[in-house]
Amino acid sequence: MVATARELTFAQAVGDGLACAMREDPRVWIFGEDVAAGGAYGASQGLLAEFGPARVRDTPISEIAIAGFAVGAAMTGTRPVPEIMHMDFAACAMDQLVNQMAKMRYMAGGKTSVPVTVRCGVGGWLGAAAQHSQSLEAWFTHMPGLKVAASGTAEDAKGVLIAAIRDDNPTIVLEPLALFPTRGQVPEEPYERPVGVASRKRDGGDLTIVTWGGIVPRVLEAAERLAEQGVEADVLDLLWLKPLDGEAILASLARTHRLLVVHQAYRRSGFGAEIVAYVNEHGFDLLDQPVRRVAGLDVPVPFAAPLEEYVLPSVERIVQAALDLA
């Protein structure tokens, strides 16, 4: 069957993924702050009308209640998809997320599963300041029992979300809020971006750029500028941080022998450091130069737009780091 694609915004692609999963499986339902009204950023628009209040529910402003309710609901046989409006607010629910949701299947000896898909709005370029602009994926990749996914295009957003909802394990899905208005071609049919499989966004032989999430469009813009200067980048969008597609990284390095890791999160202890460690342990002989990183500066994300742009990775910083490598 040939997929029929149409242009959707990133937010619409997320809503389309939710609708596909809910039509496919009556156990899937969504809840969170204002989701019945369409969500704070519009991703759940129209779902209440189609699926009704039993499967599209508003909650109090309490992330610990949202996460805790999701654990119990999953253990009783449903497949909940809670929304945490900004990933920063996950700090309010860390016990439920990392001590209950992540560990329950292990603690029960496999006698129960916790198929929860936690949607987290993430990242900067919103003018939302230090408490609403963070990328905290490294917190959750550190935790056994959780899977972590991130997408940077509308098409990937739908496929990643469907794959996460179908999976029997708890998954944190990062949705970059700054990309919600951006548009892309999205197939109508349900489809997956398979768990643990990266996506090559661009072919090149001079260096490998590994990235994910909200920075992906900037990396691709940087790759185009590099091509104008005769440098061809192999751009690998991880999609899934955990499980990590290490084989795809090593396969790219076998061709390029140079690695640049780009992410929006803070540089220190960011997930990029884990990629550097992985390559050092499994592919050191493939490298002609030390791995470079471009990341957010280690300061709170500012409110003022010029300062926010300075703190978060720019196309110019990515280009310069790539030129220094290549």
Closest to 201 in 3D by CA, of 192, 188, 189, 213: 213
Distances in Å between the Cα of 198 and the Cα atoms of 48, 185, 240 are 33, 19, 7
Closest to 264 in 3D by CA, of 172, 171, 138: 138
d(C-alpha 39, C-alpha 117), whole Å: 16
Token code pair at residue 247: 């084989």
Of 63, 83, 175, 308, which is the active-site residue? 63
Contact 313/295 with Cβ under 8 angstroms?
A: yes
Of 132, 137, 155, 175, which is the active-site residue? 132
Query: Please, which residues bridge with residue 150 across strands?
Result: 174
Closest to 204 in 3D by CA, of 188, 229, 181, 223: 223
Instruction: Return the C-alpha torsion angle 39, 43, 46, 50, nearest 10.
Output: -100
Active site residue 142: no
Q: What is the DSSP letter of 176?
A: E
Element (H or E) spanning 321, and its range?
helix 315-325
List the catalytic residues: 63, 132
